[in-house]
């Protein structure tokens, strides 16, 4: 018999799905910390918010499942030193976050974010054109400023930093829009059918040189913390856009704000921030070339079921003594 402790407690429907996994399993669903502290003593496995206090009370813990993909606010020194295996919730959001990224890309390419602002003012103003002019059509073969101000995605390159499950799906979607695609990653070597050679991270500058859209889909690790500072923005094309759906800590917000103010890059689409919520007085809120979403790129009706399926699959692996579906590196937070 193995014992799984869940804390904080989950609802009865999900609890029943977990209990159904095996009759060799006892599940304890603790709503109070005092109960969790007692129950963790002989627990083999834990799902939820572990803390140094809970870990110190555990005498037999072999597996801890985090409720989130990212681990930077989850891992603490005692957990790193503890012999238990850690798993996380990665690989659940690949399609919906890739959709979110393509939303940013299309808005910037076609100026939709600016037209939405103009619509609220009943303002007919082709971007690059003249206010109030009926349309932008010029003679055959003549390319107008309005034409130049609206990107053709098949002329653009999208570069992904972190070609994991989300990054690879972004590559696939961008390629389906006719874009050229490249990526850097310390482990992944290809995105089958889309990127024949994923570059090593030491080629980040090459990616920044060629990309019209730079998309961060990497985790927050000691190696990625503040990976994007002034030097990286200067390396990007001045017409390039930065999109961050990975983690806020990867991008220095002060440097990004300066790069946008100085025209060193063309714009930014951000779902994650160094400080969340982004303070109301932050200058990014007011920038016309910035699209902000409040860390909701993964929000979807499908994701909660995928969360549960990942927990159930890792639980089956644990009970069968097989390799976990989503093992996490405690030293490197992923
Ligand atoms: N915006 C959101 O709501 C949201 C939701 C889920 C996940 N995320 C973030 O997205 C990240 C990626 O998720 P995933 O499911 O694709 O995870 P994943 O583990 O499948 O992929 C992460 C990839 O990043 C690579 N990587 C690690 N260090 C790197 C570095 N220094 N430079 C470039 N690449 C590096 C890894 O090798 C891996 O291939 C998560 O860690 C999380 O931080 C954000
Ligand atoms: O890491 C995750 O699981 C998502 O970004 C939600 O925090």
Between 76-85, 104-113, 135-144, 164-173, the lowest mean confidence (pLDDT) is in: 135-144
Q: Is residue 232 part of a domain?
A: yes
- Rounded Cα distance between 216 and 211, Å, is 12
- Rounded Cα distance between 309 and 318, Å, is 14
47 & 163 share domain: no
* Sheet of strand 180-184, all strands in order from the earlier edge strand to the far edge: 180-184, 157-161, 213-216, 241-244, 267-270, 290-292
Distance from residue 312's CA to the centre of ligand 1 (Å): 22
| Residue 162 reports pLDDT greater than 90 | yes
Q: Is residue 138 part of a domain?
A: no
Strands 63-65 and 45-48 come out as parallel
Q: How many helices (H) and strands (E) does the chain have?
A: 12, 11
pLDDT of residue 133: 77
88 & 101 share domain: no
Average the pLDDT over 228-255 and give the result: 98
Residue 83 sits in which domain range?
A: 2-92+302-320
Average the pLDDT over 239-247 and give the result: 98
Average the pLDDT over 290-296 and give the result: 98
Distance from residue 74's CA to the centre of ligand 2 (Å): 11
83 & 167 share domain: no
DSSP E strand boundaries for 41-179? 45-48, 63-65, 85-87, 157-161
158 & 279 share domain: yes
29 & 174 share domain: no
- Rounded Cα distance between 295 and 277, Å, is 9
Mutate to test the pocket of ligand 2, among 69, 217, 308 (most ligand atoms within 8 A of CB): 69
Q: Is residue 216 part of a domain?
A: yes
CATH of the domain at 70: 3.40.50.720
Dihedral angle of Cα 248, 252, 255, 260, to the nearest 10 degrees = -20
Distance from residue 81's CA to the centre of ligand 2 (Å): 24
37 & 98 share domain: no
Distance from residue 69's CA to the centre of ligand 2 (Å): 5
Q: Is residue 144 part of a domain?
A: no
User: Is the CB of 219 inside a 6 Å radius of any atom of ligand 1?
Assistant: yes
The DSSP secondary structure of 146-166, one letter per residue, reads HHHTS--GGG-EEEEE--SHH
User: Is the CB of 327 inside a 6 Å radius of any atom of ligand 1?
Assistant: no
Q: Each residue of 219-243: b (16+ CB within 10 Å) or e?
A: bbbeebeebbeeebbebbbeebbbb
Each residue's pLDDT tens digit, 77-92: 999 999 999 999 999 9
Mutate to test the pocket of ligand 1, among 166, 293, 332 (most ligand atoms within 8 A of CB): 166
Distance from residue 218's CA to the centre of ligand 1 (Å): 3
Please, how many CA atoms are within 13 Å of residue 313, restricted to the half-sphere of its CB? 17
User: Is the CB of 43 inside a 6 Å radius of any atom of ligand 1?
Assistant: no
Helix, strand, coil percentages for the chain (3-state, nearest 5): 35, 15, 50
- Counting beta carbons within 10 angstroms of the beta carbon of residue 20, is it exposed (0 to 12), middle (13 to 18) or buried (19 or more)? exposed
55 & 100 share domain: no
Q: Is residue 125 part of a domain?
A: no
Q: ipTM score here?
A: 0.98
- Rounded Cα distance between 15 and 21, Å, is 10
> CB–CB of 159/152 below 8 Å?
no
175 & 74 share domain: no
16 & 159 share domain: no
Q: Is residue 245 part of a domain?
A: yes
71 & 165 share domain: no
Tokens 């159930």 found at: 312
Q: Which residues are catalytic?
A: 247, 276, 295
User: Is the CB of 169 inside a 6 Å radius of any atom of ligand 1?
Assistant: no
Each residue's pLDDT tens digit, 201-227: 999 999 999 999 999 999 999 899 999
> Which residue owns the Cα nearest ligand 1 atom 25?
162
| Residue 4 reports pLDDT greater than 80 | yes
Each residue's pLDDT tens digit, 89-109: 999 999 999 999 999 999 999
13 & 52 share domain: yes
| Residue 137 reports pLDDT greater than 70 | no
Nearest atom of ligand 1 to the alpha carbon of 296: 3
Q: What total of structural domains would you count in the chain?
A: 2
CA angle (27 as vertex; 25, 32 as ends), nearest 5: 160
Q: Is residue 104 part of a domain?
A: yes
Whole-prediction pTM value? 0.93
| Residue 333 reports pLDDT greater than 80 | no
Q: Is residue 116 part of a domain?
A: no
Helix/strand/coil for 200: coil
User: Is the CB of 89 inside a 6 Å radius of any atom of ligand 2?
Assistant: yes
> CB–CB of 96/168 below 8 Å?
no
Average the pLDDT over 41-50 and give the result: 97
Each residue's pLDDT tens digit, 251-288: 999 999 999 999 999 999 999 999 999 999 999 999 99
User: Is the CB of 224 inside a 6 Å radius of any atom of ligand 1?
Assistant: yes
Each residue's pLDDT tens digit, 299-325: 999 999 999 999 999 999 999 999 999
Nearest atom of ligand 2 to the alpha carbon of 92: 3
Share of residues in the chain with pLDDT > 70 (%): 98
52 & 104 share domain: no
């Amino acid at each position: 018999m193995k014992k799984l402790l869940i804390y904080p407690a989950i609802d009865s429907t999900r609890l029943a799905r977990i209990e159904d996994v095996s009759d060799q399993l006892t599940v304890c669903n603790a709503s109070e910390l005092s109960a969790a502290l007692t129950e963790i003593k002989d627990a083999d496995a834990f799902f939820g918010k572990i803390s140094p206090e809970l870990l110190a009370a555990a005498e037999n813990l072999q597996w801890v499942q985090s409720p989130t993909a990212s681990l930077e606010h989850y891992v603490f020194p005692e957990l790193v030193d503890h012999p238990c295996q850690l798993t996380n919730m990665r690989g659940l959001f690949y399609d919906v976050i890739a959709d979110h990224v393509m939303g940013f890309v299309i808005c910037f390419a076609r100026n939709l974010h600016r037209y939405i602002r103009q619509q609220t003012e009943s303002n007919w103003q082709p971007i690059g054109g003249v206010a109030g002019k009926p349309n932008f059509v010029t003679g055959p073969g003549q390319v107008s400023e309005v034409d130049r101000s609206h990107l053709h995605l098949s002329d653009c390159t999208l570069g992904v930093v972190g070609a994991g499950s989300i990054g690879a799906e972004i590559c696939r979607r961008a390629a389906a829009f006719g874009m050229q695609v490249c990526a850097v990653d310390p482990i992944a070597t290809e995105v089958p059918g889309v990127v024949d050679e994923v570059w090593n991270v030491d080629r980040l500058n090459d990616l920044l040189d060629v990309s019209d859209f730079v998309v961060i889909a990497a985790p927050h690790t000691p190696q990625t913390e503040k990976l994007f500072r002034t030097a990286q923005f200067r390396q990007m094309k001045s017409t390039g856009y930065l999109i961050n759906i990975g983690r806020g800590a990867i991008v220095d917000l002060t440097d990004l704000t300066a790069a946008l103010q100085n025209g060193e890059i063309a714009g930014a689409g951000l779902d994650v921030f160094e400080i969340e919520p982004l303070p109301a007085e932050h200058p990014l809120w007011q920038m016309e070339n910035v699209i902000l979403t409040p860390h909701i790129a993964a929000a979807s009706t499908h994701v909660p079921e995928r969360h549960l399926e990942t927990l159930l699959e890792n639980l089956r692996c644990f009970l069968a003594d097989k390799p976990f579906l989503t093992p996490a590196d405690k030293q490197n937070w992923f």
